[in-house]
Amino acid sequence: MNRAEAIIDLGALEENVRRILSSTKASGLAVVKADAYGHGLVPVAKRALKAGASWLGTALLEEALTLRSEGVSAPIIAWLTPINDDFESAIQSDVDLAIPSISHLEKVLIATEKAGKRARVHLEVDTGMSRGGALKEWRALCEKANESVRAKKIEVIGIWSHFARADEPGHSFNDEQLNNFRQRVAQARTLGISPTILHLSNSAATLTNSDSHFDLVRLGISMYGLSPDVEKMGDSKKLDLKPVMSLRSQVHLVKEVPAGSQVGYGGTALTINDTKLAVIPMGYADGVPRNANSTAGVLIGNQKAPIIGRVSMDQFVVDLGNDSIARAGDWAYLVGSEGADGYTADAWAKACGTINYEIVTRIGARVPRVFIN
């Protein structure tokens, strides 16, 4: 039996994909970067395709090549490829590449000569986020791309960009970026670029802004049943999404301690009353944030037990209360539960001053993923 495990409900993932795509005319791209947000790259990718996604998206080229090695034949785009990446392997494996600069395009063109075939590319334009994509050199990039198309070295499959504030529905900057995107696409067309796919929408825009859907919507955090922003968009339940990951660990030890006992490194917490404590054998080496406070905890036998003291590398302590009947070997649910309402990724994020994305993606490789449904 595993010390700890992340249970991945592929049935819930499939429901989320189907539910989101039912509300748009656009095709769906399942974002499976970062080991599918910590949920398991290959099983998630295959199930998302079964659920109706027609594309896959990764940040890193090695993620895309892993999918190809596992027999995934659907279109894949990798969008965070350093300028000296293995573009030849990408081209040979029919992995689409995001092109954010002329320098990147020039490196890809060299790789096409070695690969002996055309590269499939998506020109990335900066519409206001000031992160990825071409800005001042957009026109020159389009001109170079058109020249390369005519030379039969590349195919421009798409033009794309990324929202900075789509998780703030109604913010004026979203309209500004949308208008910028349309203008840059129009400019590219006048320069001879004829993309077959335009894509701009992330999860938040897909859920709230149909004007931004274009040909393809990118399903990221929403596919995993989590809200892009709990404060501004509501939680999973409000968005009709089912969290896909549950996280649990076996209780290592239960012990009685008197009132006034110091707990953990630095004695940062004291027991107020005589109580029972449980040691949970997971820590920051497993991805449990060290700065988690007592608003996070575990569910044991349908009873919540808050964290007390600091999270250690391999373990943390929770306060069971003096009347608890919990025992060593019981399952303690950090996220999700069997039946009762337990702690959520959102609750852990709030306890750590972060976002739910970080909670699920940081769960370490030494926590096995167990796939159900």
The C-alpha atoms of residue 299 and residue 304 are separated, in whole angstroms, by 4
SS3 state at 373 = coil
Asked whether 337 and 296 are in contact (CB, 8 A), the reply is no
Eight-class DSSP state of 343: -
- 33 noted as active-site residue: yes
Closest alpha carbon to 17 in 185, 219, 163, 179: 219
Asked whether 61 and 85 are in contact (CB, 8 A), the reply is yes
Q: What is the torsion angle, in degrees rounded to the nearest 10, for the CA atoms of residue 362, residue 367, residue 343 and residue 240?
A: 70
Inter-axis angle of helices 138-150 and 172-190, nearest 10: 40
Instruction: Kindly name the residue from 25, 33, 117, 238 that is annotated as catalytic.
Output: 33
Eight-class DSSP state of 118: P
Stated as kind and residue range, the H or E segment containing 364 is: none
Inter-axis angle of helices 41-51 and 61-69, nearest 10: 70
| Cβ neighbour number for residue 370 with a 10 Å cutoff | 14
The C-alpha atoms of residue 17 and residue 30 are separated, in whole angstroms, by 8
Alpha carbon 195 to its chain centroid, in Å, reads 27
The C-alpha atoms of residue 209 and residue 203 are separated, in whole angstroms, by 10
Phi/psi-derived region of residue 241, left when phi > 0, alpha when psi is between -120 and 50, beta in every other case: beta
Residue where the block lists tokens 């190809």? 68
Residues contacting 24, CB < 8 A, separation 6+: 206, 210, 213, 217
Q: What is the CA radius of gyration of the chain?
A: 23
> What residues are labeled active site?
33, 265
